[in-house]
Structure 1
Amino acid sequence: MHPDPRPAILADRQAIEEIVRDAYSPYIRRIGRPPGPMLDDYEFLIGKGSVYVVDLEGTIQGIVVLIPEQDAMLLDNVAVAPSAKGTGIGRRLLEFAERSARAAGYRVIRLYTHETMTENIALYSRIGYTETHRAEEKGLKRVFMVKHLG
């Protein structure tokens, strides 16, 4: 069993950026440019308290970025270190995101992903997210999805 995610601290920034780079780099060729999470300012997001990490024995294995919005919690990013793929950390991070959204009083959690990230769209659909619409933002073709929390 993995530990619960903890709030990230500035000392985690380099590890967070490495996980994001490793997780999203394979999509650059498919999309034609770096995906949105590779362009985020993690120092700023950590300072806002939006980033959580799974830390196993001093090594960060996964991250999730949660941003409270007016009507829903935005699951802005979830990424797992390549060495931790298949260990359940990703599922743990997604469950944590939903628990956090409920604890903050939200009945809906939302996310978006690039339309070419079909594996992610399929995963999110399997765990209860439904597509609401597609739109282009910041030059990226995104699929928007929501999950209603019980």
Structure 2
Amino acid sequence: MDISGIPDIARPVQKQLDAYNARDIDAFMRYWAEDCRYYEFPDRLLARGAAEIRARHMARFQEPNLHGRLVNRMVVADMVVDHETVTRTFPDGAGEIDVVAIYEVKNGVIARAWFKIGPPRLLTDAVLRRALPSDAAAIRDLTHAAYAKWVPVIGRAPKPMTADYHARARDHIIDLLHAEGRLAALIEMVPQTDHLLIENVAVLPAFQGRGYGRRLLAHAEAVAATRGLGEVRLYTNRLFAENIALYARLGYRVDREEPFMGGFTVYMSKPLHEAPPASG
């Protein structure tokens, strides 16, 4: 995540959340003090010191669906209070929990943290998680399957079928939707200064018609709002009429059309009137 607009006191908190989502234990531990304390709110000590926190999270980082989504953040003096929704794997299956996390930051690292955890909600339908570079091949295969029907329509492979997903999984935000034990859909997003750009929405043909595309577009709006961005933008081929119709139903407007490779690209946008201001 771009941290340029984040208050200094909150930067180690954001950095450890990014490392948590990447399941990178070494990067995660850089932002915890050696003598840190880790509590279940209000005062039940769960881990004392960096070694115990490392051991606790090494096991958690093995969970395939692990992902923490920041819902809201407040900074007061040296305290950072986050509301997060965390996707985890429970004994009965994948699910989500709401977490209020309170971090005390000293000398650029987390000195103490308290966590108030809500009850788990099992996700029997579908699970979202952030893609890792290791997911590049699966992202490419799903995208090719989703866009194959458009090849005879436009006479060439659509742009998403030619992308380098090893680079995009590293440089962009790609969130993956799993259903029935397999990768079913994805959305690729690129935060810009004043808007969130959707580069790709793809649903595996076997899972089309279930509303996953709409769900991912709504998810993108939530991502934009969380980052303080007031608009979502996307583009598509003018011959993809059903896609344009869907975007219009969801509140997107056509901004312009431009020639591209013998056809036309349609650029669309949707303002998010209730987006919160950027932190910092």
Given the two structures, how large is their TM-score scaled by the length of structure 1? 0.92
Q: How does 1:32-43 map to 2 (within 5 A)?
A: 32-43=155-166
Matched AA of 2:212: I
Structure 1 residue 137 displacement after superposition: 4.0
Report the alpha carbon displacement of residue 84 of structure 1 after superposing the two structures with TM. Answer: 0.8
Structure 1 residues 49 and 132: alpha-carbon distance in aligned structure 2, compared to 1, 3 A threshold: closer
Question: Which residue number corresponds to residue 219 of structure 2?
Answer: 96
Matched with 1:67 is 190
Range moving further from structure 2, 110-119 or 8-17: 8-17
Gaps of 5+ in 1: none
Residue 165 (structure 2) pairs with residue 48 (structure 1): no
Partner of residue 9, structure 1: 132
Structure 1 position 42, deviation (Å): 0.8
Return the structure number with greater helix share.
1
State the shift of 1:79 in Å: 0.4
Q: Could you say which residue in structure 2 is the equivalent of 1:122?
A: 245
Deviating more after overlay: 103-112 vs 10-19: 10-19
User: What is the number of residues matched between the two proteins?
Assistant: 150
Hey, what's the Cα distance between the residues in 2 that align with 1:107 and 1:83?
Answer: 34
2:98 maps to which residue?
none
Q: Which one has the largest radius of gyration? A: 2
What is the deviation of 1:142? 0.2
Q: CA deviation at 1:26?
A: 1.0
Give how far 1:140 is off.
5.0
Q: Which stretch has the larger CA shift, 102-111 or 10-19?
A: 10-19
| 8 Å contact kept, 2:137–2:165 | no
- Bigger relative contact order, structure 1 or 2 (CA pairs below 8 A, ≥6 apart): 1
TM-score under structure 2 normalisation? 0.51
Distance 2:182 2:135 in 1: 9
In structure 2, what is the Cα distance between the partners aligned to 1:69 and 1:2? 31
Q: Which runs of 5+ in 2 are unaligned?
A: 1-123, 274-280
The alpha carbon displacement at 1:8 in A equals: 0.6
- Once superposed, what is the RMSD of the aligned Cα atoms? 1.6
Instruction: Compare the two structures and name the one with the higher strand fraction.
Output: 2
